Amino acid sequence: MQAGGGEMRDLRDCAICYVCDINFLWPTLVSATSLRRWVTPSAADIFLFTIGIDADTSRKVAEACESLGLTFLALDDGLISGFDESKFARTHVPRSSLGRFFLADHLPRDYDRILYIDGDTWIVRDPTPLIRYRPPPDVIAAGEDPAFFIQSINGSMGSHIREYFAGLGINGPNGYFNSGVLMARLPTWGAMMAEAFEFFRRNVEKCSYHDQSALNAVARHRRVRLSPRWNFTTPYRHWGVESKIAPCIYHFIGAVKPWMGKCEPWAGIHDAYMEDWRRFASLDLPARRFDARELTQRNRAAIEQTTKLKLLFARRMRYRTEIRRLHESAVEV
């Protein structure tokens, strides 16, 4: 990997942040639990920001956060306003994902940088090197999104992604990052997120992936690439590159999550994940679960997807080769 990031420092000058609404609160607590397995409260501070949570739930969750050594903060839902709600893309990605735009305004100023992590993640190896990493000023650190690899294929999927990139003014071959794991210096975070929210506010219909779309549109060359190790998304699991990457953070992108059932391609971690999940059962938080019929259908579709990709040998090998190349050329953390 390429060297970068300057001198190594203690973890405590990094604010590790999550943002979620009521529907992603349970998995976010699970992710924070997996993070605390590696990073103790005395080593680094973790903040859980919530949006639109009622007072009674906030009280119960604040108690759970205290037991994990997390700082619980409720953001005003009014922050996420000032845009045409009728043009907002209705997907499984919640409106609260825009909350990351406002983190810098709600953190003490004595932090050097922010590490943001989505709640639909699970930390399976020591993340300390990432927490210690200090990005250069005026850039954001992020790993590539699967769309970066898919953009080059023939057919409707590749064409759709290229059109999406063009609409945002993005030169796809130069990179397109996933916003599930991000790091930047605190002043950079504040400035870039304000710029991204303004872009989003003026271009809601173009931002199919909400914050991620807007951030890619404004960041462009102001980004350093993280290895897929730090944001190992569901398609990478399908593509069979895990043994080459040794991922630290699993990111369950898409509509299938491990708490919904023993779903491919995450069936192998389901039992261990659910051990952390059951820790918060008494909070009575909402969470979607598949019934037996839907679980069977989802798994059949996942297996068919993996089988199809194996038959497309050249495409699969191209994905694997490119991911390994990006892993090896990513900034060193």
**In the predicted structure, residue 5 carries a pLDDT above the cut 50:** no
291-315: string of b/e by CB count within 10 Å (b at 16+)? Answer: eeeebeebbeebeeebeebeeeeeb
User: Would you say 31 and 119 are in contact if contact means Cβ atoms under 8 Å apart?
Assistant: yes
Distance between CA 45 and CA 289 in Å, rounded?
Answer: 31
Q: Which helix (H) or strand (E) holds 122?
A: strand 121-123
Mean pLDDT estimate for the chain: 91
At 215-247, the pLDDT tens digits run 999 999 999 999 999 999 999 998 888 988 999
pLDDT of residue 93: 67
At 114-136, the pLDDT tens digits run 999 999 999 999 999 999 999 99
Average pLDDT (46-62) is 95
At 301-322, the pLDDT tens digits run 888 877 777 766 677 788 888 9
Distance between CA 94 and CA 103 in Å, rounded?
Answer: 17
Binned at pLDDT 50, 70 and 90, residue 3 comes out as very low
Percent over 70 (pLDDT), the chain: 94
At 79-110, the pLDDT tens digits run 887 777 776 766 656 778 899 999 999 998 88
pLDDT of residue 221: 93
pLDDT of residue 106: 93
pLDDT of residue 240: 85
User: Would you say 142 and 182 are in contact if contact means Cβ atoms under 8 Å apart?
Assistant: yes
Average pLDDT (24-32) is 97
- Dihedral angle over CA of 97, 101, 107, 112, nearest 10: 110
Residue with tokens 């200090």: 134
The pair of three-digit structure tokens given for residue 299, joined into one six-digit string: 């798994």
Statement: the pTM of the whole predicted model exceeds 0.85? yes
The pair of three-digit structure tokens given for residue 82, joined into one six-digit string: 């000032």
At 181-214, the pLDDT tens digits run 999 999 999 999 999 999 999 999 999 999 999 9
**In the predicted structure, residue 4 carries a pLDDT above the cut 60:** no
Residue with tokens 């990478």: 236
Residue-by-residue DSSP string for 141-190: EEEEPHHHHHTTSSSHHHHHHHHHHHHHT--GGG--EEEEEEEEEHHHHH
